[in-house]
């Protein structure tokens, strides 16, 4: 009797054809979020804002802290870690969920660059076997939009949104490079 339930549960976890393998469904925000002119400009350019959050009790949050935030803090010689916003979502177009990470490492000089750019954001790309850091920058929000490459493949561009507008980034090999 347990075998059919297990098979059904595993089938529900499998990605649908043409969809990225997401590790979770984003939770709806509790409050209405204020949208500034910077985010409106990125939306007008076709970017969707990626919703990030921190769910401390969830297993995936513990995994993000253990495998990404703690090594980052150690790399910087820091230790005071606050809430860390993140999203697991495909940002390359390869069908694998990647990691958008806003690490709040309080005693790190790299956490904030200044009031206009926003906090530090890192993008880790998963290629099906390994994770690697593809972007290390500053932004208030991150957006993405699908673009068709000259060879017909679909990829994503990223928008790093800050209070003076947004900057476009494109995947160049294994890293995101500024496009504008």
8 φψ region: left (φ > 0), alpha (ψ -120 to 50), beta (else):
alpha
Paired tokens of 106 = 């309080």
State the pLDDT at residue 23: 42
Distance between CA atoms of 82 and 105, rounded to whole angstroms?
Answer: 6
- Nearest to residue 70, comparing CAs of 80, 60, 58? 80
User: Is 27's pLDDT higher than 70?
Assistant: no
Range of 13-17, 23-27, 65-69, 106-110 with top mean pLDDT: 65-69
- What number is the average pLDDT over the span 63-81? 84
Please say whether the beta carbons of 72 and 122 come within 8 A.
yes
Supply the pLDDT for residue 52.
86
Mean pLDDT, residues 108-112: 66
Q: Is pLDDT of 31 > 60?
A: no
Distance CA 162, CA 167 (A): 8
The yes-or-no verdict on residue 22 having pLDDT over 50 is no
Angle CA(47)–CA(172)–CA(142) in degrees, nearest 5? 30
Q: How confident is the model at residue 58 (pLDDT cuts 50, 70, 90)?
A: confident
pLDDT: which is higher, 113 or 55: 55
pTM summary value: 0.73
> pLDDT band for position 62 (50/70/90)?
confident
């Amino acid at each position: 009797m347990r075998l059919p339930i297990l098979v059904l549960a595993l089938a529900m976890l499998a990605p649908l054809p043409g969809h990225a393998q997401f590790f979770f469904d984003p939770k709806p925000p509790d409050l209405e979020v204020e949208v500034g002119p910077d985010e409106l400009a990125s939306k007008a350019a076709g970017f969707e804002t990626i919703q990030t959050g921190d769910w401390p009790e969830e297993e995936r949050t513990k995994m993000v802290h253990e495998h990404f935030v703690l090594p980052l803090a150690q790399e910087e010689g820091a230790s005071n870690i606050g809430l860390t916003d993140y999203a697991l979502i495909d940002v390359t177009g390869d069908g694998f969920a990647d990691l958008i990470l806003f690490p709040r490492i309080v005693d790190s000089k790299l956490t904030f660059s200044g009031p206009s750019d926003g906090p530090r954001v890192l993008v880790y790309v998963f290629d099906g076997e390994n994770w690697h850091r593809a972007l290390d920058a500053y932004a208030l929000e991150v957006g993405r939009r699908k673009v068709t490459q000259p060879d017909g493949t679909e990829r994503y561009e990223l928008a790093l949104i800050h209070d003076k507008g947004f900057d476009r980034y494109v995947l160049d090999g294994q890293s995101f490079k500024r496009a504008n």
